[in-house]
């Protein structure tokens, strides 16, 4: 009877071991499903390569975004227009047809354009602006347009 008991225990262990082995084989097939690999080492190599490619792609994306942000800083973002009467408000002449318009980027660089409407004549002036200042004398209206861009 003792030999029979050992035989049944050995059979039970073999059945458990076979079940465990089948379960592990099923898990490995599930792991390798859809992969172009024959073993775990190949799967890990493929995953490592995919991760490396993803990191390279992220670095390229970060570099592109940095360049795009630099370009955006230099694009026109702030515009303001100040309309005025070149003869003064109480002069009885003209109207608010004249204007000064500031076109600046994020850093305060750009241009201010002024147009003076005088009876049968229109005069247009453009002045470069660097860091919210110009090397040319600015009119009060031009200064006002530039100041408005700072607050917008």
Question: Residue 106's CB: how many other CB atoms inside 10 A?
Answer: 13
* Structure-model confidence comparison of residues 11 and 42, the more confident one: 11
**Is residue 139's pLDDT more than 80?**
yes
**Structural contact between residues 114 and 141, judged by C-beta atoms closer than 8 angstroms:** yes
Average pLDDT, the chain: 88
How far is Cα 149 from Cα 142, in angstroms, rounded to an integer?
11
How far is Cα 143 from Cα 100, in angstroms, rounded to an integer?
9
**Is residue 15's pLDDT more than 80?**
yes
Please, where are the H alpha helices in 1-151? 2-32, 40-73, 140-151
State the pLDDT at residue 93: 66
Task: Provide the residue count of the chain.
Answer: 152
- Domain boundaries of the chain, sorted by first residue: 2-72, 78-151
**Is residue 26's pLDDT more than 80?**
yes
* Structure-model confidence comparison of residues 147 and 42, the more confident one: 147
pLDDT confidence tier of residue 74, bands split at 50, 70 and 90: confident
pTM score: 0.59
State the pLDDT at residue 90: 64
């Amino acid at each position: 009877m003792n030999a029979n008991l050992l035989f049944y225990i050995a059979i039970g262990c073999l059945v458990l071991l076979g079940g465990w082995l089948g379960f592990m084989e099923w898990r490995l097939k599930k792991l390798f499903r859809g992969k172009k690999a024959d073993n775990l080492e190949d799967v890990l190599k493929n995953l490592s390569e995919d991760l490396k490619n993803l990191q390279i792609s992220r670095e390229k994306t970060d570099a592109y975004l940095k360049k795009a942000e630099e370009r955006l800083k230099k694009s026109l973002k702030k515009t303001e227009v100040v309309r005025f009467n070149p003869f003064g408000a109480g002069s009885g002449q003209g109207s608010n047809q004249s204007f000064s318009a500031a076109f600046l980027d994020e850093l305060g660089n750009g241009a201010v354009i002024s147009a003076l409407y005088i009876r049968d004549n229109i005069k247009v002036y453009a002045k470069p602006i660097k860091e919210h200042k110009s090397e040319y004398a600015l009119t009060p209206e031009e200064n006002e347009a530039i100041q408005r861009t700072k607050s917008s």
